[in-house]
Structure 1
Amino acid sequence: MEVLGHLPLGAQLSVADMDLEQEMDRPYAYISRMVYGWEGPKGTDIISLEDPENPELIYEWRIENQDLHQRTGGMDVKHFKWNDRYYLVQSLQFGQGGPNTDLGAVILDVTDLPDASTVREVARIREPDMPGGFHNIFIYKHQNDRVYLFTTARAPGALIYDLGMIVDGDLENARVGMVPVPESPMGRGAGRGYHDFYVGYHPDTGEDRFYGGGTGGYYIYDVTDLENPELRITLTGISGVSYGHTFTPSPDGRYVIAETEYQYAPLRIFDLQPALEGEVTNVRSPISAFTADWRNLVHNHEVRWPYVFVSGYLDGLQIFNLQDPNNPVTVGYYDTYIGPTVEGRPAMFNGAFGVDVRNEDGLIVISDMSTGVWTFKMDGFQGWNGEHWGQPNISSAQDWDNPVVKRPVSEEDD
């Protein structure tokens, strides 16, 4: 591993998740700012990575009257492109006893960066009937060419918003669906929800698929028809899992990497082939697992098959190889936090929080809760295209300008 650059961002436990633009001529990272410790801002930082060895803070967005707002503030952040303009969505969580308890996200127009004076707020997404805001979000360009925001909320499922409608001024009608969490002994009625999710195209079926972790485990839906999501596969009854967290598939959708948010929990790797072939509908046994240090907890991850890039809290950046999914192998690591625990906060929730990878050149970026932003390169990893590894070129990185590639599959003669 090579450390390229580092930019501290302030108080301990004041940095949350992050997102990295993919276009080389837009070298920007977006960093969520929160108060998980005892001080810090609530909003978003924009970092220029024009020179990855010298990250530069070029813009700060903050909620007005920060001290009046309860709870953490910013948590997750994603960007998107619509009608040749670029936007970021910052999820927000504010609690009772202060303003904006119904505010889930703010949308900023960031088209004309690096001129920070041009950044402007274009919309706020509110859900008065679901106070508490949005925790995690994911933005997906659907095969219908619309761009959708999937969000967690105080709801029995993931809410779906049409972002094009919002930035074009039709916020009132922009919520277009919800992906439900199936009822189970772990949760019924309003007592169930998602924590995190991923949405991607599934080439073998031609479906847009939702991969969600939440109450009871993990769930995979067909969301091609957003008004009528169809449950395809469940991963429930897993030993040690009552509530799923980050859940990410391989580019072809055969394997999934699943996280659970408690100390000592590893990342579990599952093979979905029996379910994809129709032999079963529920998969409950992992084929392997990965952890950097059994005493800690691995967190978010990005899949660039066969590599999995992990923000591992106290274990920093971790990278492992899944060429043999039954035997994950660590190929790189760097500890971004070696400081003390913070009094009054769980010791394992510190260090590397978010991770992203720029496919064009292989730049790796970590957001650390206490030490800020880090940039890395891994020896031999100069970028990623799934087809170079015999996989579809599918990852969390969206292709805003081109439709989904649907290659025909030849059929054998009878």
Structure 2
Amino acid sequence: MSLRRPTSASVSLIALAAGSVSLAAEATAQEWSPLQRGSENIEVVGHLPLGGRLTVTDMGMEQELSRPYAYVSRANIVGNGQRGLDIVDLSEPSSPEVIYRWRIEADELHQGPGAMDVKHFKWRDRYYVVQSLQFAQGGPDPDMGAVVLDVTGLPDPTTVREIGRIREPEHPGGFHNIFIYKHSNGRVFLFTTVRGPYAHVYDLGRFVEGDTGGALVGRVPVPTDGSGFGGYHDMYVGYHPDTETDRFYGGGTGGYYVYDVSDIESPTLLVSMVGVSGVRFGHTVTPSPDGRYIVAETEYRYAPLRIFDLQPALEGSTEVIRTPISAWTADWQHLVHNHEVRWPFVFVSGYLDGLQVFSLQDPENPVTLGFYDTYIGPYNEDFNPIFNGTFGVDV
């Protein structure tokens, strides 16, 4: 008899007290039970039910303390959700509250999951949120990739206004994942997945100032065998202080790739992680702050997060890394999903295993620090059985 029971989609605010690896033994020694859903070093300080199963996808939190807002993507994956975005006020962490909802018009006519990834940015003293969208052909808006909202006036919901919609008619199917990065040249760029062998790069300053036609300023290719097929699933972009370069980390066809995108119009491939056992298509990929280590996901059941050391490639002795130095998972029977790195901690949305936190203080020996199981329901019977529970995480 299973102890799991159905639950609804929700957002939880969790406080972590894991300050050192010395807490790891305590966390890993504790066994999960319906009455003890988390390790003792994690406390749930707020909880907000939002809807039915598989209606919450990714989320993002603003980083300025004066703006206590979270943005939550809403999807329709198994037929019980409305596609759009919720804005949650976290000023009282114990009582989070939805203060604004954006929904696609004529939702019942649209096909596909809807809202997937969400990011926010600041440009010329105004605050914006970008919600990625995926609509399938057979309904309206298959070319729509994202909607941009001005959220400067929060917490007053009447001040939220739609700035525009980013469309890509040459590659219908929308943007599955997005990443926003303030480049060393001062511009704010939106990197997106598309249904093509590259990632698109949009200048968000141009877009919000009305130059929608000139917003697409670059592409980061997926190295292929020349057939022209391929694509990215997810990406991360960050500044590399040792070399004073802007770097793109992408997971997609064949594995994972690192590019120098200092010249946004001419990306240069630096490192490839291909030919890796068990990896045909990369998923989420996140570097350590110094760019040496990579945490990489491959989205299939039983797959762990793989940890790669790029030092041999960064030193110039090779351009291809084929073997991870370690791996980590919460439960080998399941699948760990998206993650955020706050070195040496890695915060993981582990689907059926909820929130997981592990340490890479010793990258060759990842250690679990804490966990909280947000979902104690059964496996799906109408969708991938392990795609439930904690989809996204932000810190």
TM-score normalized by the length of structure 2? 0.89
Is the contact between residue 217 and residue 244 of structure 1 (CA under 8 Å) also seen in structure 2? yes
How many residue pairs get aligned? The number is: 354
**SS at structure 1 position matched to 2:116:** strand
Q: What residue number does 1:188 align with? A: 227
The alpha-carbon deviation at position 343 of structure 1 amounts to 2.6
Offset, 1:205: 1.1
For residues 44-63 of structure 1, the aligned pairs below 5 Å read 44-63=85-104
2:112 paired residue number = 71
Q: Tell me the residue number matched to 1:224.
A: 262
* AA aligned opposite 2:96: P
Q: Is the 8 A contact 2:380 2:387 kept in 1?
A: no
Show the counterpart of 2:45. Answer: 4
2:77 equivalent in structure 1? 36
> Shift of residue 321 of structure 1?
0.6
- Within the candidate set 137, 162, 165, 2:206 is matched to 165
- Kept in 2, the 8 Å contact 1:37–1:342? The answer is no
Are 1:139 and 2:180 counterparts? yes
- State which of 321, 326, 338 in structure 2 corresponds to 1:300: 338
Aligned-pair identity (%): 68
User: 2:251 aligned with 1:213, yes or no?
Assistant: yes
User: Displacement of 1:155 after TM fit?
Assistant: 1.4
AA in 1 matched with 2:43? E
Would you say the 8 A contact 1:263–1:295 is kept in 2? yes
Query: By how many angstroms is 1:136 displaced?
Result: 0.2
In the alignment, structure 2 segments of 5+ residues that lack a partner are 1-41
Supply the distance in 2 between the matched residues of 1:341 and 1:171 (Cα, whole angstroms).
Answer: 43
| Displacement of 1:342 | 3.0
By how many angstroms is 1:341 displaced?
2.6
Q: Distance in 2 between matches of 1:121 and 1:45?
A: 14
Partner of 1:244: 282
Query: The residue matched to 2:194 in structure 1 has which SS?
Result: coil
Which residue is 1:311 aligned to?
Answer: 349
Is the partner of 2:391 in helix, strand or coil?
strand
Q: Give 2:160's aligned residue.
A: 119
* 8 Å CA contact 1:107, 1:123 repeated in 2: yes
Q: Which amino acid aligns with 2:133?
A: L
Q: In structure 2, what is the Cα distance between the partners aligned to 1:217 and 1:188?
A: 17
Equivalent residue for 2:32?
none
Runs of 4 or more, structure 1, over 3 Å off, are none
Q: Does 1:153 align with 2:194?
A: yes
How far apart, CA to CA, are the structure 2 residues paired with 1:342 and 1:289?
27
Give distance in 2, aligned partners of 1:310 and 1:316: 8
What one-letter code is carried by the residue in structure 2 that aligns with 1:66? D
Q: Match for 1:49: what amino acid?
A: L
User: Which residue in the other structure is 2:317 paired with?
Assistant: 279
2:293 aligned partner: 255
Compare relative contact order (CA 8 Å, sep 6+) and give the higher one, 1 or 2.
Answer: 1
Kindly indicate whether the alpha-carbon contact (under 8 Å) linking 1:30 and 1:47 is maintained by their aligned counterparts in 2.
yes
What SS class does the counterpart of residue 275 from structure 1 fall into?
helix
Helix, strand or coil at the partner of 2:312: helix
Tell me the TM-score normalized by structure 1: 0.85
Deviations 1:80-123 (A, max 9, x none): 00010000000001111111111110000000000001100001
For 1:195, give the aligned amino acid: H
Q: What is the alpha-carbon distance in structure 2 between the residues aligned to residue 178 and residue 259 of structure 1?
A: 23
Unaligned stretches of 5+ in structure 1? 358-414
Q: Give, in whole Å, the separation in 2 of the partners of 1:38 and 1:132.
A: 19
CA distance in structure 2 between the aligned counterparts of 1:287 and 1:8, rounded to whole angstroms: 39
RMSD: 0.7
Counterpart for residue 89 of structure 1: 130
Measure how far apart 1:12 and its partner are. Answer: 0.6
Aligned to 2:21: none
1:278 deviates by 0.6
Instruction: Provide the C-alpha distance between the structure 2 equivalents of 1:22 and 1:99, rounded to a whole number of angstroms.
Output: 34
Deviation at 1:61, TM superposition (A): 0.1
Structure 1 residue 149: Cα displacement: 0.2
Asked if 2 retains the 8 angstrom alpha-carbon contact of 1:220 and 1:233, the reply is yes
Q: Secondary structure at the match of 1:171?
A: coil
Do residues 27 (structure 1) and 68 (structure 2) align?
yes
